[in-house]
Homo-oligomer: A and B are copies of this chain.
Amino acid sequence: METRINRQWRLAARPEGMVGEEHFRWVEEQAPRVERDGQVLVRTLYLSCDPTQRGWMARDTYLPAVAIGEVMRSFGVGSVVESRHPDYWEGQLVQGLLGWQDYALLDGDSARLSVVPEGVPIPIAMSALGITGLTAYFGLLEIGRPEAGETVVVSGAAGATGSVVGQIARLKGCRVVGIAGGPEKHRWLVDEARFDAAIDYRREDVAARLAELCPDGIDIYFDNVGGEILDAALARLAFKGRVVLCGAIADYNRSELGPGPRNYLNLLLQRGRMEGFIILDFLERAGEAVAELRRWVEAGEIKVEVDVQEGLENAPRTLRRLFTGANRGKQLLRIA
């Protein structure tokens, strides 16, 4: 019987500032085996890098913090190598919280694994049809509730979630303005993803550009970044405008809470609404969303950009790419 090595990154310290390799410990141990009914052993193929992982490392949030010494939590896609659960079988491709490791031994009932649809490339399954695509879909449609003709502004617009938000908004008949850093992202947003306009927050005055590009105000601001950009968007909120809180990447690597949005009282003057959501609450409805997203992607209506790095040993530095803005679209790490 072959002995499989299970390489892992375990959490070693809670980050206060920027996340880095010093917060993890590399461990190699023997891979686990299925021992009880209901268990599934999955060989990780790809890991998903998501800003929310920074929060999981630091404190209890909508999920308990990763414990010190525990394998770093991460979404991933893998192939089932052993199963004593009736819904899963060897060779099947599944998606779920596999962690930063080669092999994940999971309880098939509680692990909420989803099966990767036939005929979909893994990077698409993990981006537009994965957690970030679903985040875009439910966040925009259920929390933002766009109507044709409205102006939608998205921050982190070239990222995995933001790029899908903007393209769904376009498909719903909205005018879409994306905010992202750097000329390449700017070009991609306008030329490939067909946003109506883009703002390069590194070179441009975001508040001034929003005033130019949204003369009637912002009906929906989908926020992935927090900080000053959230404040600039609040200042331009239209009557009955909505702010969808999806994340605040600008604040995730601060050692303490950043300043709050000073312009929050515009919610009062404009009768606006600022609302947060967590995609885990919508996973029961993932089927409908994945089907619709898949139609859009296959028809070329939604363009997907995926940034694939290689090697489990690079997991910490690949996660870090999200916070330096180095990633182009969905950040993945191929490990097998």
Seen from chain A, the residues whose Cβ lies within 8 Å of a Cβ on chain B are 61-62, 226, 231, 245-248, 251, 257-278, 281
Complex CA gap A236/B174 in Å reads: 36
Q: How far is the CA of A157 from the CA of B269 in the complex (A)?
A: 22
CB pair A276 B272 closer than 8 Å: yes
- What's the minimum C-beta distance from A184 to chain B, rounded to whole angstroms? 29
Q: Which of B246, B251, B260, B271 contacts A281 (CB under 8 A)?
A: B271
What residues of B have a CB within 8 angstroms of the CB of A259 in the complex? 259-260, 262
- Min C-beta distance of A8 to chain B, whole Å: 28
When the two chains form the complex, which single residue of B248, B265, B275 contacts A276, counting CB atoms closer than 8 Å? B265
CB pair B265–A262 under 8 Å, yes or no, is no
Interface contact B276-A267, CB-CB below 8 Å = yes
**Chain B: CB-nearest residue to A252:** B265
Task: Kindly name the residue among A247, A261, A263, A264 whose own CB sees the greatest number of chain B CB atoms within 10 A.
Answer: A264
**In whole angstroms, what is the CA distance A258 to B11 when docked?**
38
A260-B259, A261-B261 known; A278 vs B274 contact (CB < 8 Å): no
Q: Which residues of B contact A257 (CB under 8 A)?
A: 262-263
- The one of B247, B262, B267 that contacts A245, using a Cβ cutoff of 8 Å: B267
Q: Which B residues touch A231, using CB under 8 A?
A: 260
B264 lies within 8 A of A270 (CB):
no
A262 and B257 alpha carbons, distance in the complex (Å): 7
Most buried by B among A266, A267, A276: A276
Tell me if B273 and A273 are in contact (CB < 8 A). yes
Measured in the bound complex, the distance between the Cα atoms of B245 and A267 in whole Å is: 8
Question: Given that A231-B260, A262-B258 are contacting pairs, would A278 and B267 also be in contact in the complex, using a CB cutoff of 8 Å?
Answer: no
Contact B277 A271 (CB under 8 A): yes
* B271, A273: Cβ atoms closer than 8 Å: no
Contact yes or no, A272 B275, CB < 8 A: yes
Q: Which residues of B contact A274 (CB under 8 A)?
A: 264, 267, 273-275
Q: Are B265 and A270 in contact (CB-based, < 8 A)?
A: no
Contact B226 A269 (CB under 8 A): no
Report how far A22 CA is from B290 CA in the complex, Å: 63
Bound together, the chains give a CA A226 to CA B263 distance in angstroms of: 12
Q: In the bound complex, do residue A268 and residue B246 qualify as a contact, i.e. CB atoms below 8 Å apart?
A: yes
> In chain B, what residue has the closest Cβ to A270?
B276
**Bound-complex Cα distance A264 to B259 (A):** 10
A174–B271 Cα distance when bound, in Å, is 25
Q: A263 and B260: CB pair below 8 A?
A: yes
Between A and B, 18 residue pairs with Cβ closer than 8 Å are: A245-B267, A245-B268, A247-B268, A257-B262, A257-B263, A260-B260, A260-B264, A261-B261, A261-B264, A266-B276, A267-B275, A268-B277, A268-B278, A269-B278, A271-B277, A271-B281, A273-B275, A273-B276
Cα A277 to Cα B277 with chains together (Å): 21
Taking the nearest CB of chain B, how far is it from the CB of A221, in angstroms? 13
- In contact, A276 and B271 (Cβ under 8 angstroms): yes
Whether A61 contacts B262 by the Cβ 8 Å rule is: no
Q: Provide the residues of chain B in CB contact with A261, threshold 8 Å.
A: 260-261, 264
B residues within 8 A CB of A272? Answer: 275-276
- Which residues of chain B have C-beta atoms less than 8 A from A277's C-beta? 268, 271
> Beyond A264-B274, A267-B275, A272-B276: 19 further Cβ-contacts under 8 Å?
A61-B269, A245-B264, A248-B265, A248-B268, A257-B262, A258-B262, A260-B262, A260-B263, A261-B264, A265-B276, A267-B276, A268-B277, A268-B278, A269-B278, A271-B277, A271-B278, A273-B273, A273-B276, A274-B274
